[in-house]
Amino acid sequence: MRVEQKAALGVVVVVTNKFTSFIFCLLLLTVTQVIFQKANAAVLPEDRADILYHRFDGGGVVIDGPSILVRKSIKDTVSIAANYYVDNVSSASIDVVTTASAYTEQRIESSVNMSYLRDKTVLTINYGQSEENDYSARTASFDFTQDFFGDLTTISAGYSQGWDVVGKRGDDEFAEDANRKQYRFGLSQVLTKNSLIGISWETITDAGYLNNPYRSVRYLEPGNGSYTYQAEVYPETRTSDAFAIRGMYYLPYRAAIKAEARVFGDTWGIAAKNMELAYTHPYGEHWIFDAKIRHYEQTKADFYSDLFPRIDAQNFRARDKEMSTFSNDSIGLAVSYEQELNDWEAFDRFSVNLSVDYIKFDFEDFRDARVDTVAPGLEPLYSYDALVTRLFFSIWY
C-alpha cells in the first residue's frame, strides 16, 4: 500500500509509501549531482544500460529487488529510455505489528522517457505507472533545461501530474483517488573553473485520499487506564514547498567537495530541514570513492498525536511516525570502478558501483506501544537503524 506524504521532498524517510526506501537510496547517491549535471544540460545523456539491485533493511521492513534501465539516442537529437524495477516488500514494522499482521507483497513499476535536444535546449517527457495489490499509480511529467551565457548558466523547470487509486486488501469495493501536481524550477551557475552552485524550488499540491486505510491512531479509554484504536483521518488537500541550495568545489588533485542545505514546509504544519556534506576522491584511472554525512529533522503535523485523550478527539488525526517530530543521521560510503573496452566494437566502457548508507532514526513524540508500562503514554520513545545498499552495473555502447 502506498500513501505519499512528501513531508520533506528529497528526504524520502518522510514519504510513507513502501517503495520509499528504494527512492531514498537513489536520492542519497544522486541528489547533489543532478543540479551540476544540468550545467551541461544541452547534451543528451549517453547511450547506456544499467542493472541495479537495491535493498533497504530497517525498522522491521525489508525492501529489495532489481531495476533495469536502457537508454538509446537517435541522430544526436533524441534520447529514449525505458526503466523497469521491482520492490519486494516484507513488513513487520512497529506500525504493522501493533494493529495487524506482518505481510509480504510486490510492487512493479515501468516508465518511458524521451529527451529532445535543440541547440542549447533539452525538452524531456516521461510517463510511468506502477501496480501493487492495493495501489495503482500513473505519473506524467515534462521538463526543460536551457543554457545561457556561454553555457555557464543553466535554467531548468518542470511539471508533473500524478493519478493514483488507493485500494484496500479484503475490500474490493474500496477505491479512492489521490491526485498530485508538482512544479519545479532550478538554476545552476558556474562561478569559477573549480566551483559550481545551484538552487532549486518545488511545490506540490495533493488532493484526494491522502492517508493509509490500514493505519490507526490510539486513544485513551475512559475509566480503565488503557487505550484502543480508531482509523486515521487526514485532510483531503495539502500544499508543500521546498527550497534547496547546493555547491560543489573541485580540488586540485581531481577530488571534489559537495554541500547541500534544504528547507521544507507544508500546510499540515510540518517544517523540515536537512544538511549534507560529501567528498569524492578518484584513485588512479579506474576508481572513485565517495563519503558523505547527512542530518535531517522535522516537526510534527498539526493533527498528529501519539496518544489522543478520547475517541474522535479532533476532526483530523494521525499517528503515522513519519508525521511526528523526528530526526535522522546517516553516513554513506560508495565505490565505483570504470574500465574502457578498447577491444570491443559494440561497447565503449563499463562500470561497477556499490554504495552503503547507515541511517539512525530517532523519534521525539512517537512511543513504542509494544512495550508494556504502568500507564499509556509512558512507553519508551521509538528509534531504529536502517541499512541501504545499492549495487549496479552500467555499460556504455
The verdict on residue 328 lying in a domain is yes
The verdict on residue 6 lying in a domain is no
Percent of the chain whose predicted confidence (pLDDT) is above 90: 80
**Residue 2 pLDDT level (bands cut at 50, 70, 90):** very low
The verdict on residue 4 lying in a domain is no
Single pTM value for the model? 0.86
**Residue 99 pLDDT level (bands cut at 50, 70, 90):** confident
Tell whether the model's pLDDT for residue 6 goes beyond 60. no
Between residues 171 and 111, the one the model is more confident about:
111
Tell whether the model's pLDDT for residue 14 goes beyond 90. no
What is the number of structural domains in the chain? 1
**Residue 267 pLDDT level (bands cut at 50, 70, 90):** very high
**Residue 373 pLDDT level (bands cut at 50, 70, 90):** very high
The verdict on residue 3 lying in a domain is no
Least confident range from 25-34, 53-62, 299-308, 367-376: namely: 25-34
The verdict on residue 208 lying in a domain is yes
How does pLDDT run across 149-206, given as a tens digit for each residue? 888 999 999 999 999 999 998 898 999 999 999 999 999 999 999 999 999 999 999 9
Residue 101: predicted pLDDT = 77
How does pLDDT run across 121-139, given as a tens digit for each residue? 999 999 999 999 999 999 9
The domain that contains 105 carries what CATH number? 2.40.160.50
- Average pLDDT score, the chain: 89
**Residue 23 pLDDT level (bands cut at 50, 70, 90):** very low
Residue 5: predicted pLDDT = 34
Provide the residue type at 85 as one letter.
Y
Domain that holds residue 65: 12-396
The verdict on residue 91 lying in a domain is yes
